[in-house]
């Protein structure tokens, strides 16, 4: 994965990146590293909801690759989990 870079070098083409927000550091729940994208209307916005940030990020990095997908194959030829028809477990 790439190292943190100054925010002024971040892509502003709509792709999602990780941003560091020092104003949110030190909170009980970790909110200082957020997935964001550049929105021409409001600047940096969260990738989760599209809400405009209320603090300016200072650093950014590319998103890591997602985990490798593991596809399960069962003897009946289906790719679904064998218990998928029973619904969620509560």
pLDDT, tens digit (0-9, with 9 covering 90-100), for 24-64: 888 888 889 999 999 999 999 999 999 999 999 999 999 99
In a domain, 71, yes or no: no
In a domain, 31, yes or no: yes
In a domain, 46, yes or no: yes
Number of structural domains found in the chain: 1
Pairing between β-strand 33-39 and β-strand 5-6 as defined by DSSP bridges: unpaired
6/47 Cα distance (integer angstroms): 19
In a domain, 19, yes or no: yes
**Residue 18 domain boundaries:** 1-63
Whole-prediction pTM: 0.70
In a domain, 1, yes or no: yes
Mean pLDDT of the chain: 83
In a domain, 18, yes or no: yes
In a domain, 82, yes or no: no
């Amino acid at each position: 994965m790439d190292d943190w870079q100054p925010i002024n070098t971040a892509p502003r083409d709509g792709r999602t990146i990780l941003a560091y927000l020092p104003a949110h550091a030190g909170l009980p729940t970790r909110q200082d590293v957020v997935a964001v994208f550049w929105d021409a209307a409001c600047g940096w916005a969260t990738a989760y909801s599209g809400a405009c940030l209320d603090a300016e990020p200072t650093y950014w990095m590319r998103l890591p690759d997602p985990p490798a997908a593991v596809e399960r194959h069962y003897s009946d030829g289906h790719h679904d989990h064998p218990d998928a028809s029973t619904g969620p477990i509560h």
